[in-house]
């Protein structure tokens, strides 16, 4: 397996966020795995590591597939429409429900955060979409 590292601008992030509402630094997304699933026709899994800069906040977005996030380092907050806000520190995980608008943010203005994202969805489908207003 090869590791591909892509630097994403604060305006367009491929795997976790649509863009940055705050913060001026770029985040780094490292694709760890992209694999079609045997016995699950038309489904694939993507695993990525996301290094999020201090003070970063996503635009309102949604995930068409199932997303699982594990915090490797730092602390983040996930605000999902209609659900209580969840704060996570290193060693904690959350499931992000498909199709529900959300905003994510790094809770620190001085330290970055590192996330491990596991996404299950349709082959070739985007991992994230802008949420309708």
For the stretch 28-63, pLDDT in tens is 889 999 999 999 999 999 999 999 999 999 999 999
Find the CATH number of the domain harbouring 70: 2.60.120.10
- Domain assignment of residue 62, yes or no: yes
Q: How many domains does the chain have?
A: 1
CA dihedral 79, 83, 87, 88 (to 10 degrees): -100
- Domain assignment of residue 131, yes or no: no
Q: What share of the chain is helix, strand, coil (3-state, %, to 5)?
A: 0, 55, 45
pLDDT in tens, the chain (133 residues): 333 322 222 222 333 443 344 455 778 889 999 999 999 999 999 999 999 999 999 999 999 999 999 999 999 999 999 999 999 999 999 999 999 999 999 999 999 999 999 999 999 999 899 998 8
- Domain assignment of residue 88, yes or no: yes
User: Please, what sign has the CA dihedral across residues 129, 11, 57, 53?
Assistant: positive
- Domain assignment of residue 118, yes or no: yes
- Within 8 A by CB and 6+ apart from 120, the residues are 37, 43, 44, 45, 65, 66
pTM for the predicted model, two decimal places: 0.80
In a 13 Å sphere around the CA of 74, the CA atoms on its Cβ side amount to 22
Q: Which domain holds residue 76?
A: 4-122
């Amino acid at each position: 397996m090869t590791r591909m590292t892509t630097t994403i601008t604060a305006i367009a992030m491929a795997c976790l966020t649509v863009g940055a509402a705050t913060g001026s630094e770029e985040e780094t997304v490292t694709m760890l795995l992209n694999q079609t699933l045997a016995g699950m026709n038309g489904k694939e899994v993507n695993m990525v590591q996301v290094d999020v800069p201090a003070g970063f906040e996503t635009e309102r977005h949604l995930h068409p597939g199932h997303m699982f996030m594990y915090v490797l380092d730092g602390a983040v907050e996930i605000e999902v429409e209609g659900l209580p806000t969840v704060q996570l520190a290193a060693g904690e995980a959350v499931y992000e429900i498909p199709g529900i608008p959300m905003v994510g943010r790094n809770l620190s203005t001085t330290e970055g955060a590192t996330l491990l994202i596991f996404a299950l969805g349709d082959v070739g489908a985007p991992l994230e979409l802008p949420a309708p207003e």
